[in-house]
Chain A
Amino acid sequence: MRPRGGVQWTLFGLFLVALVPVVGERYYVDLTTQILIYALFALSLNILVGYCGNLSFGHAAFFAIGGYACVILTTTYEVTLIISLGLSVLISAVAAAAIGYVCVRLAAMHFAMLTLAFSMLVWSIAIKWTPVTGGDDGFVGATLPDLISNPVSFFYFALLIFSTGLILLRVICTSTFGRAMIAIRENETRATFMGMDVRKIRLQAFTIAGAFAGLAGALLGLYNRGMYPESAFWTESGQVLIMVLLGGMHSFIGPVLGAAALYILETMINQYTEYWQIVLGVILLGVVLIAPDGLAGLLSGFRKRKDDSVTGVDSE
């Protein structure tokens, strides 16, 4: 979970991302903004999947709640951007705590199914509560402050929020709480007789994951200047899960790589065929069969081999 030099690589990566508007066209700025949003979403899911070992099929619920909350607050109630963002995170966290309170009573597949059920409930509320959410057509025409209304300034705003989220999640994951989540993933019973209240820690993890998914959703709402029910649909939960698996769920930074890889692949393959999902399916098969630790696993394996060949040490 802690690659050597991980912090330096992350800072270097963020620096390179910050250069995109300087060297790239508008198209790449938009693409990178979307990647940043989904990378934050995937990072939040990995708290549950990679750290706590709880597979969620309904994480998009909190993504959508955060997104709707933010655009409704900024547009319908004309709340300032920063307060709207803060409230969106808070609302997502409260929703996650309430839904999580029920879900963490179950484990494994039952937990996953319950998260799916709740996310579909959120989706149906988004569709049916037309006066507030805009219903099937979505909530359109969200207002943005002038400061972030052009693509480049929004890009830097998204990068700032992403970096903040990344740092906060990193601090959480490397704290004693992060280690407790890993302990629970490895063996719940063992964690229990070590004094850990497993259900409470799982609920805390669920709430944190929901809060950060809400933050990513709020960014998406602002970026799209609106929010649509599809963001709560199970396919959205499936997509972010694919990002986590593709990038590597046992690595902190893996989901970011997964989000970037999925978006870039989609863009590249779409140029040649509209059936890009077929290609994605083949790639996913390859990842699961050949590299179960995802792209991050491949990279760390490559780095380890390189280190070993330099030092002449055999792999353990």
Chain B
Amino acid sequence: MSLLEVDNLHVAYGKSQALFGVSVEVSRGELISLVGRNGVGKSTTMRGIMGLNVPNRGVVRWKGEDISGRDPHLNCRDGIGYIPEDRRIFSDLSVWENLDVARNYNATSTADSNIAKRWNEESVFTLFPELADLRNRKGGVLSGGQQQMLTIARSLMGNPELLLLDEPSEGLAPLVVSRMREGIEQLKEAGLSIVLAEQNLGFVLALSDRVYVLEKGQVKYSGSAEDLKNNIDIQKQYLTV
């Protein structure tokens, strides 16, 4: 059974339909990527999974259970971590307080035995040592890369089974992007299942098991990262600007 199964998902923003039947599957421990140009529906798919946008058709199944349109805080407590594109942390809270608030409002920390790794302050600081020295620094004064690390660290404090990572490399300096890639590789090695939305194809191909190519709110191609690497036609048709 898949950990997450998105079946024929339709999502609209008011009268503007953004997704037209997206289907995606994630198995335990797998890293899949949603790729495509700007505005093709990558973020909307994640928001639909998380419950931030209620689908008008289609089903989201989490461990076999229909969770379509369920409140985001319940999805979070059930083991789905979401790291949005804007990577905003709580700027009035310190790094430590950002982590603390995430840990204490998340029920999965005590429940599921399937969780690959249990996270605490020490282990997230081992993953992102850059944050350890900034423990008491207000979130609002961190750099873009540090904020991105903090949003991931904050999400980990809830011991998720699946991470929805929306454009983690966007707007970061090349050195920070490669640091972020290492971080995501470590998360995968720790057994986390990950859905990655990205425009940076190099980043995606280096990390993913499978890839879904989106265009105009639909999945146009799905296959292994290796297959996409060799499929220049698909890359030209849907991924080049």
Could you tell me which A residues sit within 8 Å of B by CB distance?
1, 176, 179-180, 182-183, 185-187, 189-190, 192-198, 250, 316
CB-nearest residue of chain B relative to A181? B101
* A195 near B158: Cβ-Cβ < 8 Å: yes
A residues less than 8 Å from B102 (CB atoms): 194-195
Contact B76 A194 (CB under 8 A): yes
Flag if B50 contacts A193 (CB, 8 Å): yes
> Cα distance A180–B101 when bound, in Å?
6
Complex contact A186–B91 (CB within 8 A): yes
**Given A176-B100, A192-B52, 20 other A-B residues pairs in contact with their CB atoms under 8 A:** A1-B92, A176-B101, A179-B90, A179-B97, A179-B100, A179-B101, A182-B93, A183-B90, A185-B92, A186-B90, A187-B88, A187-B90, A189-B72, A192-B73, A193-B50, A193-B75, A195-B158, A196-B101, A197-B73, A316-B141
Give, as a whole number of angstroms, the nearest-CB distance from B153 to chain A. Answer: 12
Tell me the total A-B contact number using a CB cutoff of 8 A. Answer: 69
Q: How far is the CB of A69 from chain B (nearest CB, A)?
A: 33
Instruction: Give Cα A195–Cα B50 distance, bound, in whole angstroms.
Output: 11
The reply to whether A190 and B90 contact each other, CB–CB distance below 8 Å, is yes
Most buried by B among A189, A196, A316: A196
**Cβ contact of A195, chosen from B97, B100, B106, B141, cutoff 8 A:** B106
CB distance from B179 to the nearest CB of A (A): 24
A182 vs B94: C-alpha distance in the bound complex, in angstroms? 11
Residue B107 at the A interface, CB < 8 A?
Answer: yes
Q: Shortest Cβ distance from B146 into chain A, in angstroms?
A: 15
- With a CB–CB cut-off of 8 A, which chain A residues contact B105? 176, 180, 194-197
CB interface residues, B 68-126, toward A, < 8 Å: 71-73, 75-77, 82, 84, 88, 90-93, 97, 100-102, 104-107
A196 to B105 Cα, complex, angstroms: 6
Q: A183 CA to B88 CA in the complex, in Å? A: 11
Question: Is B42 engaged at the interface, CB distance under 8 Å to the other chain?
Answer: no
The yes or no answer to B154 lying at the interface (CB within 8 A) is: yes
Do A189 and B52 touch (CB < 8 A)? yes
Residue of B whose beta carbon sits closest to that of A316: B141
Which B residues fall within an 8 A CB radius of A? Answer: 50, 52, 71-73, 75-77, 82, 84, 88, 90-93, 97, 100-102, 104-107, 141, 154-155, 158
Q: With CB as the reference atom, state the residue of chain A lying closest to B106.
A: A195
CB distance from B134 to the nearest CB of A (A): 13
Interchain CA distance A291-B73 in the complex, whole Å: 36
Are the CB atoms of B73 and A196 closer together than 8 Å? yes
B-chain residues with CB within 8 Å of residue A189 when the two chains form the complex? 52, 72
For A197, the chain B residues whose CB sits under 8 A away are 71, 73, 105
The answer for the CA separation of A192 and B47 in the assembled complex, in Å, is 12
State the CA gap A186–B141 with chains docked (Å).
15
Known contacts: A195-B106, A195-B107. The answer to whether A183 contacts B101 by CB under 8 A is: yes
The residues of A that contact B106 with a CB separation of less than 8 Å are 194-195
Closest to B83 in A: A193
Contacting residues, chain A, for B75 (C-beta < 8 A): 193
In angstroms, Cα B82 to Cα A192, docked, is 10
Q: Is there contact, CB below 8 Å, between A190 and B93?
A: no
- Interchain residue pairs A-B with the least CB separation, the first 8: A195-B76, A195-B106, A176-B104, A195-B105, A193-B72, A179-B101, A192-B72, A193-B82
Residue of B nearest to A2 (CB): B94
CA distance A1 to B76 in the complex (A): 28
B120 CB to nearest A CB, Å: 15
Contact A186 B92 (CB under 8 A): yes
A250 to B82, CA, bound (A): 28
A194 to B103 CA separation, bound complex (whole angstroms): 9
Q: Closest A-chain residue to B104, C-beta based?
A: A176
19 contacts between A and B (CB under 8 A): A176-B100, A176-B104, A179-B93, A179-B100, A180-B104, A186-B92, A189-B72, A190-B90, A192-B71, A192-B73, A193-B73, A193-B75, A193-B76, A194-B154, A195-B73, A195-B76, A195-B106, A196-B105, A250-B92
